[in-house]
Structures are given as structure tokens and as C-alpha cells.
Structure 1
């Protein structure tokens, strides 16, 4: 099989994992969570986002989190528009994530713009960021299915990703936002993206586990040449603008699977388990990942 010897995990728990959490997570708990994740070897991470506190109150403490947790690794901050970018400029952040949905219906629900309108707004912003020396990550939502428009044409995904590549982004994070993709669809889309764009930028796969197929989709993407994956500790997450979307694929389950396959991740699973334990008391949803719960049972029996 054509699978990589090493995989990079991009931890999205502190941002994507917590943004839709109903309970307000204390700032010090977020900071502790991030530091424990870093201690577990997770170097690339979404720290937080500069979005309106009115719409996403959980991210209202973004500046405090950044000041406490920023280091020399790739620490991404999501900034969806000009206001967010201007707030980035007030910090020492050098790695920025922007996003757009392939589906205009989803994009309208999310940020009240069509996909085309978002791309028009983002083009000068990305040019400006690159001129200032920023690393730019573009997050591509609804790359397989949309809760409003159904199945997405893969050619539309490739076209949008190519447009971002032409804008000069450094990385594409291509997401199965509502967790409907199957392994064959994952392989085919990422194989096509890798063939077309793999030499121009970093390609990252982002799966949700809504229907229990995320690990299978990770495996299919490995075979398509992908070696970067967004994951969320504890499987936390979900999109407030995508009805039915549950958590991201759990970091610990992905790491365990890859390590069992002999693929290096650089992640310390026992330390990761501690990070999840620490945040679990601050979130309303139960941690349901297989690795985490198996370890909890093992600990309780010993």
C-alpha cells in the first residue's frame, strides 16, 4: 500500500472543538488545555478565532488565549473577514486561517455571503497577508456534502481549491463538514486534489465522525497521498451552521490507529489523555472516543 511513514496532526480542539460548546469554558481552562496538548507533542494547532462574540461567544477571549499560548510553532488563528484580520495584526500571530464553503447556501448561512462574494473579499486579504509574511491556511467547508444542497460536485471543490492556490495560500484544509463522505469518495477527491495541487501547497484532510466513517476516510486519504490531518482531542466539535454535524474525528483514535500501523505521529498518547481529562469537566458533551474510554476503563480497573 502507498502510505506515508510519517503523518502530521493539526489539533483543532481549542478552536473548532470548543466553538460550539454550550457551556462557557473558562479562559484558564482553555489555556491549560492548549498547553497540555502541546506537551503531548501536538505542534500545529488552531488556537482560537477572531469572530464576533455575538455569534460565537465561546471565542470572546481570543486575545487572552493567544497571549498565553503563542509559540514558534504553527499556531493558527481563524479570521473570517477584514475585521478579524485587523485584529490579527494587533497580535504576534503569524499563521492565519480563512474559510469558505464550496456550497453557497452553507456560506450564506455561515457568513451571509455567497462563495463567489467570499472569494472576492478574500483575494486582496490573502495577497496582503502573504506580502506581510504570514502563513495562510484556507479551510474549505462542505467539500463532500452540504446540509442544504446535498452532494457537492468534486469538480467544484477542485476549482475552488485551485482558485485559492492561485491566490497564494500555503495550505488547504478540505473538510467533510457534516460527516457524510465515504472512503471511496475521500480517496477519489484527495487523489484528484493531490494530483492537481500537491506540488503547489500543503493538503490537509478534515473529517467529522457523524456517521462513524472518519477513521476509514483517514485511511482512504492516506492511500491518496495525504499525510496531514485535522483532528480534535476527545472528538470535540461540530459546526453551528451545519445541522446534524457532530464532532471532529478524535485525535487520540487517529493517532492510535496510525501508530499501530507503524506511522509516526510524534504524539504522546498518555499525555494527550491527560489533556482530554482536563477539559472534559468543562464541556457539556460526553467524551466518546474509543481510545479515551478504553483507557479510562483500564485505569479504573487497575
Structure 2
């Protein structure tokens, strides 16, 4: 297990507990009371740390290397029913964007999401979860296919942003994302979006328009990352913590501003501490949401979705 800076008190107590258990095993000394005291202190420390997280600390948790990624959710929720589909039928297959058909709780879904890598080699292969235009066009192709066969759509969002390279702009990155937003607004099947890690900028919005939009407890959703915001405003990354607070990018902030529908709770310490519980919770939210949406007529489904996004924000003429 890797530990973040603010988790070091937890690491120290866990190390103490391990040493205490080893002493008990290797000698005749009764250390059970000492171990219980350390366990109690460890539990209290965890609660104090994780219930008082700052916005920047939640950003750090959303990027934790042990955190489950999109394919982890797909494998856990769909098992061997998932059939991955490839290519945008125009340029190539974008490895940063994955998608295909799978069953969740017995119901078929078209599942689309950004996938990051687990190590240096796979991160390069997946382009760090930053999709090119062909990735968004692949996602749209799959969603239109789902519409044709009346299959609901689930998207898993986890990206530091769309790929900003010159070649991506040459192939129409902005147009591809804008096209997805436009088409998802009027897609005639239920759409359920789940932010499972980072939700940055247009890269997230390209697959983020849905009837129900959920964020896991320790994720973030914003027009820009704290580091990029800090570098623009202060010409330095040193103010990223201040930027994170100002951006109001946490799940709690998004719910308060009515930009998402609900927050999916995570186990104490984050999704990576208890993956099975996290997967079961996400599955329940998806299943319950689909049951609430499936009986709506196509006209009501689309009009409700459009009204939802039209009513976001405040403006004055």
C-alpha cells in the first residue's frame, strides 16, 4: 500500500501494529492489550483524517495509484459478459477510451469510460487516460449503437483532461467533444455517468452528459485541474492547494451547487481500501438509477435531461 503525505500518521500506527504482532508471535510475551490499544488509536486516527479532508487531499486520493480504474469496475460489475468494441471507423482505436457491451445486475448496458494505466508501460499505452478525438468519436459511435438497439448507457469518467497535443487539435479535438455533448443531450436511451477518479475539463464532459450523474466521495470535477489553475493565476504550481479550495471541485461542492445528482460513499480511507464494497455500492447506484429511468417515455427522458442542464447555473440579462 502506498501512502499519501497526510496518511503518514496511519502508516506509523500500522507499522507499530505489525511490529507488535511479530513480537507476540516470536516470543511468549502477551501483547494482545497493546495491539488492541494500537488498533483503537489507528481507527480513531483514520476517522479524524478522512472526515476532515481538504479539497486538495481529495484530489490526491482521486489520483491514488491503488485506486480502481474504469476496467476494474467493468470487470467487477460485468464479469465475463463484457465484450469490448474498438475503433472510431475513421482514424484508429484510442486506447485511452474503452467501451463495449456488458451486463450489470442482469441488464445489458453500453459501457464507455477513460482508462489510465497501472504502471509506466500501460500508462503510456493508455496515454494517461487522455483521449484523442478518435476516442470521443469511438464513444459516440458506441452510444449511437446503443440508441439503435435501445440499450442504456453507462459512462465511467476518470481523466486529467482530453489530450492537448497538436495532432489532437489538427484532428478536431474541440469539435469531437462538442459533438458528444450535443448528441448525448438528445440520445434516446437512459444515460448514467459515474465519476470514479478525476473529472477534468472537456475531457470529462465529452462523456459526462447524463440523466443521472454521480461522483464517488473522493473524486473531483472541474473545468481545470488545481495545478493548471495555479500555474495560470500565480505562474507557479505552489498554490495548487489554494486553487483546489477556490475551484469548488469536490463531490460535496458539486452536490451543493446541484451539478451532480448524488455522491456515492466510499469505504473509510478511499475506494482502494475496500474495492469489493466500492464495486457493490456503484452497482447498486447504477441499477437503482436504471430502474427509475427505464419506464420514462423517450420524449420525457430527453426533455427532462435537457431541462436539467438548461437550469444549471445562474445568469442575468
TM beyond 0.5: no
Higher relative contact order (CA 8 A, sep 6+): 1
* Higher alpha-carbon Rg: 2
- Identify, as 1 or 2, the structure richer in helix: 2
TM-score by length of 2: 0.34
TM-score by length of 1: 0.35
